[in-house]
Amino acid sequence: MSPESATAVEKNLQMRLWRGDAEGGEFTEYNIPAQEGEVVLDVVHRIQAEEAPDLAVRWNCKAGKCGSCSAEINGRPALMCMTRMSTLNIEEPITVSPMRGFPIIRDLVTDVSFNYAVARRVPAFQPPKLAEGEVFRMQQVDVDRSQEFRKCIECFLCQNVCHVIRDHEDNKESFAGPRFFARLAELEMHPLDTLDRRRLTSEQFGLGLCNITKCCTEVCPEGIHITDNAIIPLKERVVDARYDPVAWLGRKITGKPDPTPAAVAARFAPETLAQQQEARSAGRIGTHPETSGAGTSR
Amino acid sequence: MAEYETHIVDVLIIGAGGAGLRAAAEASAMGASTAVVCKSLLGKAHTVMAEGGVAAALGNVWPEDNWKVHFRDTMRGGKMLNNWRMAQLHAQESPDRVLELEQWGALFDRTPDGRILQRDFGGHRYARLAHVGDRTGLELLRTVQHRAVDVGIEVFMECKIVRLLRDSEGHVNGAVGIWRETGKFIVFGAKSVVLATGGVGKMYKFTSNSWEGTGDGHALALWAGADLIDMECIQFHPTGMIWPPSARGLLVTEGVRGDGGILKNRDNERFMFNYISDYFKAETSDTIEEADQWYENKRDFRRPPELLPRDEVARAINSEVKAGRGSPHGGVFLDIASRRTAEDIKRRLPSMYHQFKELADVDITKDAMEIGPTCHYIMGGVRVDADTAAATVPGLFAAGEVAGGMHGANRLGGNSLSDLLVFGRRAGIGAAEHALSKEGTVTIDQEQVESIAKHALSFFDNEGKENAYAAHQALQNTMQELVGIIRTESELVRARGELHDLNERAKVVSVEGHRQFNPGWHLALDLEAMMAISQCTTLGALERQESRGGHTREDFPTPNNEVFGKVNMVTSMQGSEVQIRREPLPVMPPELQELFEEAH
Ligand code: SF4
Ligand code: SF4
Ligand code: FES
């Protein structure tokens, strides 16, 4: 036991938790003794058990594997179960608030159904036909790229910070968000997938609205390089190939590497992007994803 | 009478982990209208925590592997208490289930010739676990989740089922639940109901299970009149984190040992060599020299004792700690740092590296991990028919951890993910066939619905100070101390008495606040289930006067094959009391029995 943790035991934490619902709410302060080795979620749970039994909070694994406990800690989006108290300044009050990018249900729980609605719109993986008794052969280097995106724990922190959604509620109609660009990239780079989703990616999922601010990558608890490894290569493939199915198939088969992120990023200077968006908006599909019906109910 | 939101389907599946979603995909493919209901959001189920892999005799790494070897390993690991037919179906069908995942987009790690790579795990004779680094569970869950979404199954998320409904003949025909978000009731009418609710870990203090593991499906089955079997058989995974306190119980994958990690006590002694039971002598290295060569040459050397089945390793760790040779925080050391390069460790065990770095501030490429046993898995569960996954009450099915029999007295690592694929699919077929062959429409008995609703709301009216969190902690303390990894009659009798009192406490828990997203209320409802299940476990543990797999009795330290090796401990409700009885195990046909004779 280190000396500082021994003194920490004496300390009182000032935890300011956001309490309220869709109608409104405010921060409520709870004073609770600090304990050794805790993460933010532990403290929230102790407050729940001792002072506020009806405090609403989502969690499951407490190990950073399920992506349930996303919140904003001192305004910074993070997983509560992976934020150690020792990394925060406990001399000052610590605020915990729900993700700002999604409508509030109650306390720290937000309505993330938007993401499930988008997920329903992504066309599924489509493998080639196998002959009887045949099995798929793939090389590790070829599966590596998609595997990176399959690490996603669907915490939706990237969706929460993306300004395209956060600042413009109506963009949700035409913009799928970084989590789904990672999903689309995963399918696009999947060595076996046979479906060309590039037109969809640009026209219905709004890839063009992303201007590579990288906020999503910075916040991803799984360290997925959403911008460099998913979005930029996707942009490249969508624009550069002009939906040429032959070239597309060629690349899938040869696994030709994409151009370097820097080279591609240069092509996505704000002016270029504005033009692209203009051109795109004509073809925009305006159906609003159903947030409650159509399968995933909550 | 109040009007409730009501849905009528052919097949209702409770639980959206691997088993539930696999069942849903199958039932829906058979043309049954199918709905899934789950306590959390879709994709958060405990399946994501499975790290090591999915066991299937694909024979990609060892061509000599086949279903018979896998079957034999599973039965021996389960100390022969398994339902042999389940173990057989599981071993025969898991390779197809794994290959099918690839058809749905899963990406397993590869062999140099491009096939699915398989890794070594405790109790498996050959490297058999298909895996993706150490996040295989996530890969599996995402794959079946995408599949279920793709086929358009309706998912009711964040909805807790309170009780099952039954028709006039006693057949299960639906369920009543609450929406966690609004606190409103939701009623399902269904010709078949599949339980896929996972485990019971939350009745223990130190567990690898998430908050959802409260034995809901076990209890729903029990309350609906179904039998449970062998609820005393609980696996304490040998390697859970023990420090910091808040991370205590979190799993450290067996993959660490499969990839070279060794167990040491405070004297730096590699102690597992002192705990090789006769049962496993023939196939286990007895010197460090031999053990260390195995990692490179598995053909000519025997496995290191660190890879004995989980129950053996957990007991060994327990003994070391008891003998005063434990680590500073009361466990032992798991060391991979001195055995593999930092680069290798990070590549093969990325989640573990991450987990220790973030939660314990320990760099596992430099320092040893401190670990100890944690409640991980219940082998016992709903008694089912092996082929159809049907429970003993018509209309009810169960698959995955909530079902009993498949793993006997102890489960091998990797056999859980394959279990939920094999029996998830079978439950989907069983439930769909049952529903499609049943004529007429489902009629819901409104009176039952009403009384369930009234009961669920009664916690708001309870007066007094009993708090759900405090009652839950009391339950966890009792179970941890008295019905834990090592058991004895006097303590079990005490536990039985304490549980009786706790049950009374749980009934008068009073809930503050309103119905909307109120965790205190949800816990009060979960607590009912945990109370019922802990009684089953305690009764089973008292009655099984022997040590077998995940059930260890200090007062009966050896297996008793003549008496207890031949019976299941069956618990069921008689009136309002949990009763226990013994019933003979299904008898293995001679052609399978031969597999065990050959082995000697
Ligand atoms: S890089 Fe694109 S997707 Fe990511 S946060 Fe910025 S705008 Fe959003
Ligand atoms: S990509 Fe990263 S930040 Fe986004 S949902 Fe997945 S894990 Fe979370
Ligand atoms: S609780 Fe699962 S990621 Fe935090």
**Cα separation values, B144 from A281, B103, B213, B574, Å:** 35, 11, 20, 38
Does the residue B576 lie in any domain? yes
| A178 within ligand 1 shell (Cβ under 6 A) | yes
Q: Is residue B471 part of a domain?
A: yes
Could you write out the three-class secondary structure of B86-134? HHHHHHHHHHHHHHHHHHCCCCCCECCCCCECEECCCCCCCCCEECCCC
Q: What is the distance between the alpha carbons of residues A109 and B517, in angstroms, rounded to a whole number?
A: 9
| Alpha-carbon span A1 to A5, nearest angstrom | 7
Are B369 and B462 in the same domain?
no
What is the gyration radius of the CA atoms in chain B, in angstroms?
23
- For ligand 1, atom 3: residue with the closest CA: A178
Alpha carbon B431 to its chain centroid, in Å, reads 21
Q: Are residues B464 and B353 in the same domain?
A: no
The pLDDT profile of chain B, 600 residues, written as one tens digit per residue, is: 568 999 999 999 999 999 999 999 999 999 999 999 999 999 999 999 988 899 999 999 999 999 999 999 999 999 999 999 999 999 999 999 999 999 999 999 999 999 999 998 888 999 999 999 889 999 999 999 999 989 989 999 999 999 999 999 999 999 999 999 999 999 999 999 999 999 999 999 889 888 899 999 999 999 999 999 999 999 999 999 988 877 888 889 888 998 899 999 999 999 999 999 888 899 899 999 999 999 888 889 999 999 998 888 998 998 898 899 999 888 999 999 999 999 999 988 888 898 898 888 889 999 999 998 899 999 999 999 999 999 999 999 999 999 999 999 999 999 999 999 999 999 999 999 999 999 889 999 999 999 999 999 999 998 878 899 999 999 999 998 899 988 999 999 999 999 999 999 999 999 988 898 899 999 999 999 999 999 999 999 999 999 999 999 989 999 999 999 999 999 999 998 999 999 999 999 999 999 998 654
Alpha-carbon distance of B572 to B588, in angstroms, equals 25
Name the residue facing B48 among A35, A65, A124 (closest C-beta).
Answer: A65
SS3 content of chain B, % helix, strand, coil (to 5): 40, 20, 40
Q: Which two tokens stand for residue B25?
A: 């995909």
Task: Tell me which chain A residues have a C-beta less than 8 angstroms from the C-beta of B474.
Answer: none
CA of B139 to nearest chain A CA: how many angstroms apart? 7
Q: Which ligand minimizes its atom distance to the CA of A156?
A: 2
- Smallest CA–CA distance from B518 into chain A, residue: A54
Domain boundary among B340, B374, B408: B374
Q: Which atom of ligand 3 is nearest to the CA of A58?
A: 1
Please, are residues B177 and B159 in contact by the beta-carbon 8 Å criterion? Answer: yes
Which atom of ligand 3 is closest in space to residue A153's alpha carbon? 3
B114 belongs to a structural domain = no
- Specify whether the CB–CB gap between B221 and B424 falls below 8 A: no
Ligand 2 pocket residue status of A154, Cβ below 6 Å? yes
B556: phi then psi, degrees, rounded to nearest 5: -135, 75
Among the listed residues B268, B271, B162, the one whose alpha carbon sits nearest the alpha carbon of residue B223: B162
Q: Are residues B565 and B456 part of one domain?
A: yes
Distances (CA, A) of A146 to A152, A183, A225, A269: 11, 9, 12, 27
Closest CB to B44: pick one of A68, A86, A138: A68
Helices A140-150 & A178-189 angle (0-180, nearest 10):
160
Chain A residue whose CA is closest to B246: A38
Say if ligand 2 is within 6 A of residue A157 CB: yes
CA nearest neighbour of B336 among B373, B363, B355, B358:
B363
- CATH value at residue B325: 3.90.700.10
Number of domains in chain B: 2
| Residue A64 distance to chain B (closest CA, Å) | 8
- Do B243 and B336 belong to one domain? yes
Name the pairing type of β-strands B185-195 and B5-14. parallel
Asked about B237 being catalytic, the answer comes back as yes
Which domains does chain A possess? Answer: 3-110 (3.10.20.30), 113-292 (1.10.1060.10)
- What domain range includes position B476? 446-584
> In this structure, is residue B173 part of a structural domain?
no
**CA distances, A191 to each of A125, A187, A250, B50, B400 (Å):** 11, 8, 12, 25, 31
Residue B386 CB contacts under 8 Å (≥ 6 apart), including other chains: B83, B85, B86, B88, B89, B405
Do B142 and A150 lie within an 8 Å CB cutoff? Answer: yes
Q: Which of B392, B351, B401 is nearest to B212 (CA)?
A: B401
Within-domain flag for B512: yes
How far is ligand 1, taken at its centre, from the CA of residue A208, in Å? Answer: 10
Residue B151 lies in a domain: no
Residues B466 and B348 in one domain: no
ipTM of the complex model: 0.88
Contacts with B147 from chain A: Cβ below 8 Å = 124
Residue at A139: amino acid letter: Q
- Beta carbon of A118 within 6 Å of any ligand 2 atom: no
Identify the three-state secondary structure at position B235.
strand
Classify the phi-psi angles of B302: left when phi > 0, otherwise alpha if psi is within -120 to 50, otherwise beta. Answer: beta
CA of A248 to the centre of ligand 1 (A): 25
Write the CATH number for B481. 1.20.58.100
Minimum-distance CB partner of A124 among B146, B351, B513: B146
Token pair 């992506």 is found at A67
